[in-house]
Amino acid sequence: MNTIEERLWNYIDGTCSDEERKAIDMLIEQDAAYRLKFEELLNFDQQLVKMEMEEPSMGFTYKVMEGIRAEHALQPLKAGINKNIIKFIGGFFIVTITLLVIYLFASVPVSHANLSKPLTDNIKLPQGLDFSGFKNYLNGSVILKVFFVFDVILALFLTDAYFRRKKLSKQV
């Protein structure tokens, strides 16, 4: 832009000082080039004022907002569970199970003569508690059934996790 156009735009917009306004008024009255440029810029400014601003359609706005909403829905919600509590509970169970296994192995006497007897005869339970029927339930078939049930539950859990992950990847 040259200085004539800048000065005239400031005059039209009303951003010039009073002294500049008076000087531009005089130039418009006296100089034909200034007058023609002023009329051209004034006409252009009036056409800009008459134009309506284009707005996007309602469908476009709706689609954009739904896209933003869908992005937020895919993000997992943060649970209000403190991870330190979960670590403490897990640690408690690990320590408890470890101590029970250590106590089990410490209470079983191991010698060459005792290996020929069944394992349940070597386990000495604490005195004062009556677990006489407990030895009947602690045999190989019961332990095998317990591990089989545990393995089936674990397999179902892992299969469910696999299919959920696969379903989520298809949705994204």
pLDDT tens-digit readout, 136-165: 666 667 777 888 888 999 999 999 999 998
Is 10 in contact with 19 (CB distance < 8 Å)? no
Q: Tokens 């509970």, residue?
A: 89
Position of tokens 């008076």? 22
Domain ranges of the chain: 1-73, 82-130, 139-172
The helix/strand/coil state of 51 is coil
Q: Which is nearest to 45 in space by CA: 3, 68, 14, 17?
A: 14
Per-residue pLDDT tens digits for 90-123: 999 999 999 988 888 787 766 655 555 665 555 6
Element containing residue 75 per DSSP (H, E) = none
In the prediction, which pLDDT does 94 show? Answer: 93
Q: Is the dihedral of CA 163, 168, 169, 171 positive or negative?
A: positive
Amino acid at 70: A
- The CATH class, in words, for 1-73 is mainly alpha
